[in-house]
Structure 1
């Protein structure tokens, strides 16, 4: 009997970078899940500091991988996989990636702008998913102003922290899918 034929997986620097940053974001995500929430749907989103930093330094593709890995692995570890919480998290994460794509397209946008746009898009996508999938009640709209206010506050604060990380790392933004120096 012949040995099975296989092709060994090849990993590169990006794979290691994505795995490391996703693990860091996941650890923050799991720790943050244990924090009490003052209002349903309001968390600081500290894992997004890693995503914004990664998007700035290594590009949108790396940020997208980190986001998807964090959401799926976080759903498994926290026990919310395929629950309403998971789908709200997924909607928010995809919305945030859209916000990051927009931020990258706007000239002169810095890490705080990246984070702010991502936070607003995240909250908007989560709210829309909650409305469409779970609570199509007019009373839900009363939550939108405090939720968007929280998104602004945490988006700016997380952006300031991402900017400090980027400054500490001393790197310029990635453009056109090429790694920053």
Structure 2
């Protein structure tokens, strides 16, 4: 497990696809059990994704899920997770200044991008024990590795405005547009934001 600053949990990050290989059967069973019981009252969308939709998205290849695993009560627990996939970045509604900063002298208004589609911490852990910035840094590490093989300039997130302002904006993400909220959060404002991968 990774070394952690005082007050933070020690953890390892595993791709769910890797955990589910035959040689990790016991770990896979425990991780799946913890995901089915994952608590995230701040976002019932994320809670529901962990409990019932993660396998479908994983099996169909729409995204890859990474679990943050820690030791707890003489077993392992899923303290958080994130998903990484691909999406299209449409800059048509972005301001001219934002487009210029992101695209430079390239005149495309639509391009491919990495996507951090889900990012969550279990309610069983505080932000001091597992800061959102730590989970985001792990997602960025996965994207950096992918970029070394297949290139790619941008990473996109759709996030609640307050999450954007507290987590993604300080990490260099720029607001592009308002985003369509998940069906169960239609009364919450979401934004689409992106960052340039090589600036990390």
When the two structures are superposed, what TM-score results if normalisation uses the length of structure 1?
Answer: 0.31
When the two structures are superposed, what TM-score results if normalisation uses the length of structure 2?
Answer: 0.29
More helix by share: 1
Larger RCO (alpha carbons 8 Å, 6+ apart)? 1
